[in-house]
Amino acid sequence: MGIEDDGLATAALGRVHSRQYHLVTRTQRPAMRLLAVVLLAPVLVAFPPSSSSLQAQGEPVATVSPRNSRLRIERLLRDTPIIDGHNDLPWAIREDRAAPHDVEAYDLRKRTSGMTDLARLKAGMVGGQFWSVYIPGERNDPAYVSQGTSASMPGYARVQLEQIDIARRMIERYPELVPANTASELRAARKQSGRVGSLIGMEGGHAIENSLGTLRAYYDLGARYMTLTHNVTLDWADAAMDAPAHGGLTPFGEEVVREMNRLGMIVDLSHVSPGTMSDALNVTEAPVIFSHSSARAITDVPRNVPDSILSRLPKNGGVVMVTFVPGFVSQAVVDWGRNAEAAQRAARQQPGADSASVAQAMDRWVAVNTRPRATMGDVADHIDHIRKVAGADHIGLGGDFDGITETVLGLEDVSTYPALFEELASRGWTDVDMRKLAGDNVLRVLEEVEKVSARLKTERPPSTKTIQQLDSPRP
């Protein structure tokens, strides 16, 4: 089931559409679905914050009143609004039960059923957003139901174009969402109070269907980053949550990175294997991002970034945009999930076990093993660690709102970013470093990616290489 060592409950903390982990899917047998329901029962007990929240880098923190701290953060974020790396609102619109795919019906001027709307973006002091146009990588996902004999199978490009269409119509509908295809446009939008510079980020290289021409078409439609994989290993790149097939990137995968550099499309290394991360850093001429990942040294799951990769970011200039996925930021949540998975296996091995008896056993187990909640302090621990290993120039935020079914305590929606900055201020963070985190770092990455693109376009034409040419076995 491709989850490595993370466990069932950690999977349950992922996404409605099985985006982070594909362990519990809509096609699995009823016993698994029943167990998933048991494990998803809410337990509103907070896991205590770590002691590192009391100090930053070993230095005592001066006492500051909560009111003064709030005022400080409000001033800082007015001048330097948040630029977030990953929000799944376009998929939430597609999947909305009341009016699926309907941008007009999913009214952002009202409080939505999800985690994002205009009022909460304003309260969260968000000035820039990469809207993810995620599509599933699993070929049997319901998104790819047959559209007739003339439609391609499974339909990656079709669904990708539909998601780009949703994102573009959403941005066009609201004056508060300002289209921003360049760093200068993002910078200008960010300076306008109450406006959100809006960019599009693709999540999963399967969408290009092994075609560099398709990649270029997506760029022309507004895609400004592409996550090389999602949860499924591709013909040309290994994913973190799937079995490796290539040891990283194939020659065609390297050509994808080179063509992204030439286009001015940011290479996003969230979701990919450490081998793919390393290979991409070897090939790229421009800074990379991790649009929604955290530190593996703090929470040991495959979706996070190892220190060996973090230590290479100063040379590359890239940025890790720390995510708020509970199963990626809390080791306690991960360990609970692994223990729950072990309890499930034990229950299944009992004589005469069936789905009902397994569910009853898990009910008893959950009753005496309280499920922890990830906290804002956990997220701050990841930010602190990445600053320590990679430096303050290489951190950002990628909340993954509207792409998760459970949230970090204190970071429940897009209105809560200022609270995280208050936590960091209490740890001794300077205004300079917090401005970098808020968005200056990722804005710098976009500017540098554009500079590299301008140079490369004078040096080489669009690539016409194919996967057959580069990856076919040599005679």
| Rounded (10°) angle between helices 417-426 and 66-79 | 120
In angstroms, rounded to a whole number, what is the distance separating the alpha carbons of residues 382 and 395? 10
Backbone angles phi, psi at 413, to 5 degrees: -160, -175
**Is residue 300 annotated as a catalytic residue, yes or no?**
no
* Of 339, 441, 349, 346, nearest in space to 386 by CA: 441
Q: Is 471 one of the annotated active-site residues of the chain?
A: no
Q: Are 376 and 410 in contact (CB under 8 A)?
A: yes
Helix, strand, coil % in the chain, rounded to nearest 5: 45, 15, 40
Q: Which of 17, 86, 246, 394 is catalytic?
A: 86
Residue 230 falls in the annotated catalytic set: yes
Structure tokens at 408: 């970090």
b/e 331-362 (16+ beta carbons within 10 angstroms → b): bbbbbbbeebbebbeebeeeeeeeeeebbebb
CB-based contact 330:435 (threshold 8 Å):
no
CA distance 40 to 402: 17
**22, 206, 292, 394: which is the annotated catalytic residue?**
292
Residues for the chain: how many in total? 475
Q: Which residues contact 19 (CB under 8 A, 6 or more apart)?
A: 88, 134, 136, 230, 231, 403
3-state secondary structure of 66: helix
Catalytic residue among 203, 242, 259, 406: 203
Give the Cα separation of 398 and 141 in Å (integer).
25
Q: How far apart are CA 423 and CA 252, in angstroms?
A: 44
Catalytic residue among 17, 230, 246, 394: 230
Catalytic residue selected from 84, 238, 400, 402: 400
206 is catalytic: no
Structure tokens at 46: 């907070």
Nearest alpha carbon to residue 185 among 258, 264, 275, 67: 264
Residue 59: strand, helix, or coil: strand
CA distance 123 to 115: 12
Q: Which of 6, 84, 88, 341 is catalytic?
A: 88
86 is catalytic: yes
- Alpha-carbon radius of gyration of the chain: 22
Nearest to 133 by CA among 224, 47, 55: 224
Fill in the DSSP letter of residue 246: S
Question: Catalytic positions, please?
Answer: 86, 88, 203, 230, 271, 292, 400
